[in-house]
Copies of this chain bind each other. A is one copy, B any other.
């Protein structure tokens, strides 16, 4: 299942970026499972990675290589996370970088490795290495759709977003792809996402733009509250557009950053739409809090409540479960008499209890929709936070009970 828009939009090429995807036979024969992305010289690049302390070997190597030089190549495999694999995993991730660097005649630390799949199984190094030459051969600037498909695991559809804007008469393109469906509560990062733009921009501003965009997109989604060991989000700027180098936080920077943020938000929402077993896209808006942190705490407590999630799956306006989740959020001195809670525009709770005028039918009419917003007014401050999540269905259990079989 998946909710709403699941068709891959047109993905515009970004000058300076090529992508190739093939099947190396890592897990299912014939399924594309190996992707290479190349970046022309002269580009800048930013990345954010999972905060999970058991982060995967490729995350450690990618983070280290990125601190040393500007990447020229990215290599992504599915079917094996190379996580929980200790020293052997680090050695394997380095070996993949070396093998690809040899084909491109660059340094090994100019290659960043990424893996996604089962945690704790030994990395299929020889299989991946044998697939590299063919994947490298497949590199082309129209390879976005192949790459979007090649990075998927339990996803049911390929995820991409693309945007073309004009700044001072110069065309600027932003295109991105992402994968993710379960083990989704990115923490200062996301599942895998690769986003490119053709502007020229300083490394410092590119980093800042990525942080801002991720904070409002990938870091605001949750499927099941589980943070992956392998999350990573990469933002490339190829400097191929005619727009002059962006080196300060001016209007041009803001326009480019807005476009990047929009692509990130579309990709993040696509991950929730494709949440394992999802039948609903649920937006949670918490506002009038005394801090953004407390708004997020309330929002995530609702989003992670299995009882709220199963009620949405059942289309059951059992709003008492939302109330119970708000009431257990770790927020001090919450005054329930000042709060109100809405399902879309239907007020379900006010003055500490069921809102006057609420009817089962008005709640049911909202619950029958595929995309629903829960709004919580804390009634005590000026801050707000928005996150996205999905419901909990039989299929979530099935998918994750059968994951390795």
| A interface residues, Cβ below 8 angstroms from B | 51-55, 81, 83-89, 118-121, 182-183, 185, 187, 224-229, 304-307, 310-311, 313-314, 316, 318-321, 323-328, 334, 336, 349, 351-354, 392-394, 396-398, 400-405
Contact = CB atoms under 8 A, between A and B. Distances in A.
A185 B305 CA distance: 11
Nearest to A312: B401
A351 to B, nearest CB: 6
A54 B319 contact: no
Majority-rule SS of A interface residues:
loop
Given A226-B328, A305-B226, A318 B352 contact: no
A323 B229 contact: yes
30 contacts: A52-B324, A52-B327, A52-B328, A81-B320, A83-B320, A84-B319, A84-B323, A84-B349, A84-B352, A84-B354, A85-B354, A86-B352, A86-B353, A88-B353, A120-B353, A120-B354, A225-B304, A226-B306, A226-B324, A226-B328, A227-B327, A227-B328, A306-B392, A306-B400, A310-B400, A310-B401, A313-B401, A316-B405, A396-B397, A397-B397
Contacts of A353: 84-89, 120
A54 B327 contact: yes
Nearest to A332: B53
A320 B229 CA distance: 9
Nearest to A86: B353
A187 B329 CA distance: 11
A89 B349 CA distance: 14
A349 B400 CA distance: 21
B313 A227 contact: no
A352 B83 CA distance: 9
Number of copies: 2
Nearest to A316: B404
Contacts of A83: 320, 323-324
Nearest to A121: B320
Contact of A396 (B306, B349, B351, B354): B306
A376 to B, nearest CB: 12
Given A52-B328, A225-B305, A324-B226, A318 B403 contact: yes
Contacts of A336: 53-54
A171 B121 CA distance: 58
Contacts of A320: 81, 83-84, 118-121, 229
A311 B400 contact: yes
A313 B403 CA distance: 12
A13 to B, nearest CB: 35
B394 A226 contact: no
A128 B349 CA distance: 25
A393 B325 CA distance: 21
B400 A397 contact: no
A86 B310 contact: no
B53 A327 contact: yes
Contacts of A392: 306, 397
Nearest to A183: B307
Interface centre among A84, A87, A305 (most CB of B within 10 A): A84
A119 B227 contact: no
A73 B255 CA distance: 68
Contact of A394 (B225, B229, B307, B397): B397
Contact of A54 (B84, B310, B324): B324
Contacts of A310: 396-397, 400-401
Nearest to A185: B328
A299 B238 CA distance: 45
A84 B318 CA distance: 12
